[in-house]
Amino acid sequence: MAAVLGGKRLFSGIQPSGMVHLGNYEGAIRNWVSLQSGHESLFCIVDWHALTQRHDPEGFRERVLDLAAWILAAGIDPDRSVLFVQSDVPEHLELAWYFATVCPMGELQRQTQFKDKSQHDPDNVNAALFTYPVLQAADILLYRAEVVPVGEDQVQHLELSREVARRWNARYGDFFPEPRPVLTPAKRILGLDGGAKMSKSKGNGIALAETPGEVWAKLRVAKTDERRQRRSDPGVPEDCNIYSLHGIYTPDPRRDELGRLCREAGIGCLDCKKVLAENLEAAVGPVRERHAAWKADGQRLGEVLGDGAARARALAAGTVAEVRSRMGIRGGPLGGGA
Which of 83, 108, 125 is closest to 161 using CA atoms? Answer: 108
Strand order of the β-sheet with 82-85 is 82-85, 40-45, 9-14, 147-150, 180-183
Local structure of 245: helix, strand or coil: helix
d(CA 93, CA 215): 39
Is 117 annotated in the active site? yes
CA separation for the pair 320, 323 (Å, rounded): 5
DSSP secondary-structure letter at 80?
T
Is 274 marked active-site? no
Helix (H, G, I), strand (E, B) or coil at 269: helix
Strand partners, 148: 181
Q: Nearest Cα to 117, choosing from 87, 153, 151?
A: 153
User: Measuring CA to CA, which residue among 135, 97, 44 is closest to residue 323?
Assistant: 97
Active site residue 202: no
Q: How far, in Å, CA of 260 to CA of 182, rounded?
A: 33
Is the Cβ–Cβ distance between 26 and 186 less than 8 Å? Answer: yes
Write 125-132 long-range contacts (CB < 8 A, 24+): 126/52, 128/51, 128/52, 129/52, 131/96, 131/100, 132/49, 132/52
Whether 65 contacts 301, CB under 8 Å: yes
Environment class of residue 116 by beta-carbon count within 10 Å: exposed (0-12), middle (13-18) or buried (19+)?
Answer: exposed
Quick check: 237 and 255 in contact, CB under 8 A? no
| Beta bridge partners of residue 45, listed in sequence order | 14, 85
Catalytic pick among 8, 187, 197, 223? 197
- Pick the catalytic residue from 187, 200, 202, 218: 200
185: preceding bond cis by omega (within 30 degrees)? no
Active site residues: 117, 197, 200
